[in-house]
Amino acid sequence: MTPVLRVDSVVLGSARIEAAVALYRALGLPLVEERHEDGAAHYACEIGGAHFAIYPAAEGEAAPRGTGGFTQIGFQVRSLEDAFAAARAAGAGVLVPPEEVPWGRRAVITDPDGRPVELNQG
């Protein structure tokens, strides 16, 4: 068996794509609109060597946490305070306010679709 070498891509579906794009851009992701042949218009960028994309999705396409589905994404940030403030200004909810943890500082926000997004400064 060949071990996984690194994350190659992360693709999120969003029922609130414009709000999701605004939040992830506020966190510093340089998302640009794309469309491949007859596919859906979506937003994408490269970050840390991985492809990150947000596609339009219908409400409820991803099973909510507690009903068999769960998606969380995390980012390493330079300044937790700046990232947290930018996310809040873009409409993010707060699950865990900035706190000290054994590996540094972290906060957990929610994106417009309710996904937890962990922000870590280590």
Beta strand pairing call for 42-47 and 32-34: antiparallel
Tell me which CATH homologous superfamily contains domain 9-59+71-121: 2,3-Dihydroxybiphenyl 1,2-Dioxygenase, domain 1 (3.10.180.10)
pLDDT at 100 over 90: yes
Q: State pTM to two decimals.
A: 0.87
Q: What pLDDT does residue 3 have?
A: 80
pLDDT, mean of residues 49-62: 86
pLDDT, mean of residues 30-58: 93
pLDDT at 67 over 70: no
Amino acid letter, 80: L
pLDDT at 2 over 90: no
pLDDT, mean of residues 40-48: 95
Q: What pLDDT does residue 82 have?
A: 96
Q: Count CA atoms closer than 13 A to 61's CA, side-chain side.
A: 11
Helix and strand counts by DSSP (H, E) for the chain:
2, 8
Residue 22's pLDDT band (cuts 50, 70, 90): very high
